[in-house]
């Protein structure tokens, strides 16, 4: 069993993705726990000195100006969770909740939360036992994930429900007891530290951007396969030509396509059928390159989010202060997710256009709809309705999330980011791109079959063609393709086939 060591600074998106979907054990760095202990001492000092600190010695939201009495302080952490655990809607997937808690552990170890080390140890103990809190997925507007996190926090103190390692759901107190775990008892600041942060959104954004990165690499491969099936002109991918306008994402996309085409006869002089191809082939590096630029930006954004504090207030050990701040506000996630979503629209449109050109004998020089000669089949013509439906879904999901002056806390909390909705939209787009890519791959492989050109594809694409054929044989007569498309899409999403050659990212 693999172990992920969390230290508050070095968690990567890749490790988070693997740990969230797997059974990795979590190890908390001693220096991180020491930072937590040092800053939690500031809480006791603020209470003893009756220093106004948001959510520690004062109320929350519109009641931030109200100083809490001694009796109220004793129960305030528990009240914070019980009064805010209102998440509704479809249950969040266990791997998403697990990812959110891993991110929360990592950010706690930075020492800025002022929560006790016992809180972090308890979360890690539950996750290492395969126990994951149950929470609804609806309730965050991107100005901290207070409602979602409060529901998660209730499970950790034994008042909610948890998933067991076998996927079953039961009362959290009973499941913890079965594993010899004592429910967490809250101290001052602990309740707010469990609830008032943006780790749920940051974690889901990281998982979704990681999925989008996988989808992008799959599209790079399906585009290269389409170029083979079309016998496209590869001149526009030339490194020297690309350097004339050297947008970094464009250069990376072109390099990734060249790597996939390595060894192909297409790269030899005189192999292209046309002087100039349709733009979906000729401009593939620019279309994909724009998505690559957006993807790199989004990856950088979520990398910062999963290893940075999103608390309010923030504990500053050097200054010996607890200071109110806006670190929980996820506007960068919204911007990055929406930009990436939007960049997938022209990419999907180009996929649709390439597929249409391969089915059109006037452009491809192949039988109409790629039906086998002398057959009564209509080939892939009906599948294009599915493809266009997917493109419509992608374009619709890529619309901007509306943002308005929030009405929360009697006007004190009057701004929001909408980042959870933006991330949800990106997640749907990535899923649809996997399906669309599966259709492009099936069509491209059929075109290669009709040209009898699989032997000229180069080692990588020939291998890819063979992997696709194990899932979906050549279309010789009409048959339902839905299961083939779904199977290939799931295989791409789970990275169960090698659709990206070594050192060909981009």
Q: Are strands 132-133 and 25-28 parallel, antiparallel or unpaired?
A: unpaired
Could you tell me how many helices (H) and strands (E) the chain has, helices first? Answer: 19, 9
**Does 56 score more than 80 pLDDT?**
no
Establish if 121 belongs to a structural domain.
yes
Domain CATH code at residue 295: 1.20.200.10
* Predicted local distance difference test score (pLDDT) of residue 396: 98
Mean pLDDT, range 460-468, rounded to an integer: 96
Establish if 281 belongs to a structural domain.
yes
Q: Into how many domains does the chain fold? A: 2
Domain end (from 173, 197, 221): 197
Residues 170 and 283 placed together within one structural domain of the fold: no
Cα(420)–Cα(215) distance, integer angstroms: 20
Establish if 500 belongs to a structural domain.
no
**Does 94 score more than 70 pLDDT?**
yes
Residues 155 and 8 placed together within one structural domain of the fold: yes
Residues 397 and 449 placed together within one structural domain of the fold: yes
**Does 22 score more than 80 pLDDT?**
yes
* Mean per-residue pLDDT of the chain: 93
* Predicted local distance difference test score (pLDDT) of residue 44: 82
* Predicted local distance difference test score (pLDDT) of residue 62: 52
**Does 68 score more than 70 pLDDT?**
no
* Predicted local distance difference test score (pLDDT) of residue 413: 84
For residue 25, what are the β-bridge partners?
Answer: 3
Cα(172)–Cα(257) distance, integer angstroms: 50
Residues 217 and 173 placed together within one structural domain of the fold: no
Residues 482 and 390 placed together within one structural domain of the fold: yes
**Does 385 score more than 80 pLDDT?**
yes
Cα–Cα separations (whole angstroms), residue 193 to 113, 190, 297, 375? 6, 5, 29, 67
Residues 121 and 246 placed together within one structural domain of the fold: no
Asked if omega into 55 is within 30° of 0 (cis), the reply is no
Establish if 327 belongs to a structural domain.
no
Residues 244 and 274 placed together within one structural domain of the fold: yes
Residues 95 and 241 placed together within one structural domain of the fold: no
Mean pLDDT, range 389-401, rounded to an integer: 97
Half-sphere exposure of 301 (CA within 13 A, CB side): 28
Establish if 94 belongs to a structural domain.
yes
Domain range spanning residue 26? 3-197
Residues 178 and 283 placed together within one structural domain of the fold: no
Per-residue confidence band for 61, with pLDDT thresholds at 50, 70 and 90: low
Establish if 74 belongs to a structural domain.
yes
Residues 98 and 57 placed together within one structural domain of the fold: yes
Per-residue model confidence as pLDDT tens digits over 272-304: 889 999 999 999 999 999 999 999 999 999 999
**Contact by Cβ (8 Å): 40, 119:** no
Residues 47 and 105 placed together within one structural domain of the fold: yes
* Predicted local distance difference test score (pLDDT) of residue 66: 58
Domain end (from 176, 197, 218): 197
Entry pTM: 0.94
**Contact by Cβ (8 Å): 266, 272:** yes
* Predicted local distance difference test score (pLDDT) of residue 71: 58
Residues 6+ apart with CB under 8 A from 335: 301
Taking the CA atoms of 346, 350, 352 and 353 in sequence, report the sign of the dihedral they define: positive
Establish if 333 belongs to a structural domain.
no
Residues 183 and 263 placed together within one structural domain of the fold: no
Burial of 413 (0-12, 13-18, 19+ CB in 10 A): middle
Per-residue confidence band for 48, with pLDDT thresholds at 50, 70 and 90: confident
Establish if 34 belongs to a structural domain.
yes
Cα(289)–Cα(487) distance, integer angstroms: 28
Domain end (from 169, 197, 225): 197
- Give the percent of the chain with pLDDT over 90: 81
Domain CATH code at residue 19: 1.10.275.10
- Give the percent of the chain with pLDDT over 70: 95
């Amino acid at each position: 069993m693999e172990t992920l060591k969390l230290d508050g600074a070095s968690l990567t998106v890749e490790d988070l993705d693997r740990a969230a979907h797997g059974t990795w054990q979590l190890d908390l760095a001693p220096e991180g726990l020491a930072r937590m202990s040092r800053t939690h001492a500031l809480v006791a000092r603020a209470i003893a000195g009756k220093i106004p600190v948001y959510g520690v010695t004062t109320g929350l939201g519109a009641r931030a100006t109200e100083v809490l009495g001694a009796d109220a302080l004793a129960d305030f952490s528990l009240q914070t969770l019980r009064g805010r655990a209102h998440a509704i809607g479809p249950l969040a997937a266990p791997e998403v909740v697990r990812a959110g808690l891993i991110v929360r552990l990592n950010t706690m170890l930075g020492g800025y939360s002022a929560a006790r080390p016992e809180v972090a140890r308890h979360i890690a103990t539950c996750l290492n036992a395969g126990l994951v809190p149950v929470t609804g997925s609806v309730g965050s507007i991107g100005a901290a994930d207070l409602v979602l996190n409060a529901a998660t926090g209730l499970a950790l103190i034994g008042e909610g429900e948890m998933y067991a390692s076998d996927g079953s759901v039961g009362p959290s107190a009973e499941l913890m007891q079965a594993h010899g775990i004592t429910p967490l008892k809250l101290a001052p600041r602990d309740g707010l530290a469990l609830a008032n942060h943006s780790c749920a959104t940051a974690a889901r954004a990281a998982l979704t951007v990681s999925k989008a990165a996988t989808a992008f690499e799959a599209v790079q491969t399906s585009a290269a396969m389409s170029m083979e099936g079309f016998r496209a002109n590869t001149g526009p991918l030339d490194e020297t030509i690309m350097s004339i306008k050297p947008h970094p994402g464009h250069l990376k996309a072109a390099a990734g396509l060249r790597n996939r085409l390595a060894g192909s006869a297409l790269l030899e002089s005189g192999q292209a059928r046309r002087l100039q191809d349709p733009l979906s082939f000729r401009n593939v590096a620019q279309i994909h390159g724009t998505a690559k630029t957006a993807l790199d930006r989004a990856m950088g954004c979520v990398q910062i989010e999963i290893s940075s504090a999103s608390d309010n207030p923030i504990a500053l050990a050097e200054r010996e202060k607890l200071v109110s701040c806006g670190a929980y506000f996820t506007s960068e996630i919204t911007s990055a997710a929406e930009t990436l979503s939007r960049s997938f629209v022209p990419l999907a449109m180009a996929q649709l256009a390439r597929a249409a050109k391969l089915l059109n004998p006037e452009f491809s020089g192949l039988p109409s709809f790629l039906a086998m000669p002398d057959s009564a089949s209509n080939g892939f013509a009906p599948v294009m309705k599915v493809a266009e439906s997917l493109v419509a879904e992608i374009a619709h999901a890529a619309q901007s999330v509306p943002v308005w002056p929030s009405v929360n806390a009697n006007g004190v909390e009057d701004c929001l980011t909408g980042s959870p909705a933006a991330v949800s939209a990106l997640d749907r787009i990535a899923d649809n791109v996997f399906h669309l890519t599966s259709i492009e791959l099936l069509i491209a492989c059929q075109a290669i079959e009709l040209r009898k050109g699989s032997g000229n594809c180069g080692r990588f694409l020939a291998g890819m063609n063979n992997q696709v054929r194990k899932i979906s044989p050549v279309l010789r007569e009409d048959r339902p393709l839905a299961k083939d498309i779904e199977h290939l899409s799931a295989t791409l999403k789970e990275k169960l086939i090698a659709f990206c050659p070594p050192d060909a990212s981009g």
